[in-house]
Amino acid sequence: MNADTYDIVILGAGPAGLAAAITLGRHTDLKVLVADAGLPGIDRPGESIPPAALSCINALGLSESFSNGQHFSYPGHVSVWGRNEPGYNDALLDPMGPPFRLNRLQFDQMLVAALDACPNVTLARGRNYIKHQPDTDTAGYRLLFAEHTTQKHQQFTARFVIDASGTRARFARAEGAVRHIDDQMVALIGMQEITEGHLTAQTLIEAEENGWWYMARLPENRLVTLFVTEPPLLKQTGYSDAIRRKQALDRTLLLSKHLSGIKLQQGNWYHAPVYSSFLEKPYGSRWLAAGDAAACYDPIAAQGIHKALSLGIRSGKLAARLFDTGFRDNEAMQAYALHSKEAYRTYFTHRTQLYHSEQRWPNAPFWQNRQKTGNNSLKTNGVFLGNAYL
């Protein structure tokens, strides 16, 4: 096997891709390349994990590293949703324990550092995936990348590919995978430093006529704020403008009270798509999709990182099994797809119930569209209504 030929190429070095790589590095001798378009030190969205995610961290052999990190448990959340009075979700009542708020940069660095103990795994940053084609010598693929700074092309050959490249899932979709989209929104995201005062560790969530707000204190006294809406409504509200955004926050019933006692730097604000979607078939003869490439969750569920770690570990184990069986275990691949789809259906059931519980603006386009989205998906996917998150 030459230097540019690998048993497995993993596209993406987010939690899903790194979880798959660590799993393969710890339990196999397969030669693995993790190719990621990003560069070190970039803030990624996602800052909370439920207690169930600790089992994934333990499975990766990282419990001690996680415990030594700058993460903290938090006591649940407060929300103004469906009524004008705040409702409380107390994590002290959860038998699994409290959720955790992450120092996300440190969390990602922990996953990368775990690869140091995996000599069979190579991480290549700044590699933008362009396209691929079949490779007859390996029965796998030849993948073409562009190096981030020079744009020089580089080719790698893989006997198997794990697409953990995020929502676009370019490899999987190029292989003919079809993405089922239940809903598509946009999030306005702000990262700011708290320069004065103290903010509760509880997550703060509040619905308004044109969408909903999310606010959480992070380690190192930082604050993340999201406003989730539809693209035309984001333009209509003008919340991308700092003055109009402050006016909107001043009108909130819950957030304004907590913001009144602190001072913030302006910080960095940007947009990101918010999907509820899944690949109808997240695998092929020599590839799997994991993380957001397989299924995307609304941030209201607070399950994105947990889902990414879980599917990443599962994809790594399945890839190892396929190599052991000569890629003939189709039942295992079907079981992987079923697990991903059932997890998505459980998520979307709760999401639908949550959006249906907000009835204060029955004529507002945002809430009308969430009702329609849930009803249409219930008809097509046969999911049932369960308990809401809030």
Pairwise CA distance, residues 38 & 113, whole Å: 16
- Residue type for position 226: L
Output the pLDDT for position 378. Answer: 46
Query: Which pLDDT score is estimated for 380?
Result: 44
Return the CA Rg of the chain.
21
**Superfamily holding 5-72+99-180+276-341:** FAD/NAD(P)-binding domain (3.50.50.60)
Structure tokens at 272: 């990101």
Burial class of residue 176 in the structure, from the number of CB atoms within 10 Å of its CB (0-12 exposed, 13-18 middle, 19+ buried): exposed
pLDDT of residue 182: 96
The pTM of this model reads 0.93
For the chain, the distance separating the N- and C-terminal CA atoms, rounded to the nearest angstrom, is 53
Cβ-contact 119, 128 below 8 angstroms: no
User: Is 73:49 a contact under the CB 8 Å cutoff?
Assistant: no
For residue 375, the model assigns a pLDDT of 66
CA distance 221 to 200: 11
- pLDDT, position 18: 98
Q: For Cα atoms 365, 366, 372, give the angle at the middle one, nearest 5 degrees.
A: 85
From the list 264, 140, 262, the residue with the least C-alpha distance to 198 is: 262
- Cα–Cα–Cα angle for 180, 182, 183, nearest 5°? 130
pLDDT of residue 45: 77
Q: Look at residue 149 in the predicted model and tell me its pLDDT.
A: 86
CATH architecture assignment, domain 182-273: 2-Layer Sandwich (3.30)
The DSSP output letter for 148 is T
Instruction: Give the DSSP letter string of 251-282.
Output: H-SSHHHHHTT-EE---EEEEEEEEEEEESS-
pLDDT number for residue 386: 30
Dihedral angle at the C-alpha atoms of 381, 387, 389, 390, nearest 10 degrees? 130
Instruction: Name the stretches of the chain with pLDDT < 70.
Output: 1-3, 374-390
**Rounded CA separation 238/318 (Å):** 46
Strands (DSSP E) along the chain, which ranges? 5-11, 32-35, 48-49, 72-73, 76-80, 87-90, 100-101, 121-124, 127-135, 140-147, 153-163, 179-196, 203-208, 211-218, 222-229, 263-264, 268-279, 283-284, 287-289, 295-296
C-alpha span between 233 and 220 (Å, rounded): 33
Every domain of the chain and the residues it spans: 5-72+99-180+276-341, 182-273
